[in-house]
Chains A and B, each alone.
Chain A
């Protein structure tokens, strides 16, 4: 996946250099989409994802003692 991200970015830059604007922009958008997908995979994957249990991002009611 990371290879695809860098490949599309490299091609976008090369196409941009050779004035193939439409192709370059299409590749850039593809690269952005792949990057966001990979980022979400990295942070949410149950196997290799990076979890941050020390940061509370959702409301959790604190149990109260009677």
Chain B
């Protein structure tokens, strides 16, 4: 094997790692959103306005990842994901600061998971996302290998990404219907589904 062949192989491996990494991030976010929706529909824990904005931010992160799989890797898509990760962090920190001082009508909404409430989990998730992107950029570095290898060269990853993307879109549409039922066209409250009264 010549040096040139070795370079091609290593670039292909880096590209596969990059796409696998993105797929894993989208899978984790989809699992988190699924868990939140399960708690909403199974336990009747209606999300507050800031909780809903946190979900939107997670969908925004997924948008950037999905576009990388649809049209090839681009740092613009990475930028979209990072923007929404920052939005998630800001909203989650604000909500945690709000609920950190318990008083009537302003306690943490929903049940705690592993002893941690949802807004605090959202801070952890946002920090993990930002850290994950920072580590990916630091380790996988430049984009020469991504130009050299398209995602279609990895059929298994491409297929999994397509299935996951459709699942995330379905989750977002279900959330839209749910928000219509909960909030109507006005402000959102956590008492009940406004349109089902």
Contact = CB atoms under 8 A, between A and B. Distances in A.
Interface string A16-45: 110101001100100110011011001100
Contacts, number: 95
B63 A13 contact: yes
| Interface SS of B by simple majority | helix
Contacts of B83: 32
A6 B63 contact: no
Contacts of A31: 56, 60
Given A9-B56, A9-B59, A31-B56, A42 B50 contact: yes
A43 B94 contact: yes
Interface of B: 49-50, 52-53, 56-57, 59-60, 62-63, 66-67, 70-71, 80, 83-84, 87, 90-91, 94, 97-98, 101, 106, 165-166, 168-169, 172-173, 175-176, 179-180, 183-185, 187-188
Given A2-B52, A31-B60, 12 more contacts: A1-B187, A2-B187, A9-B56, A9-B60, A13-B59, A13-B63, A13-B169, A14-B169, A17-B70, A32-B84, A52-B97, A54-B101
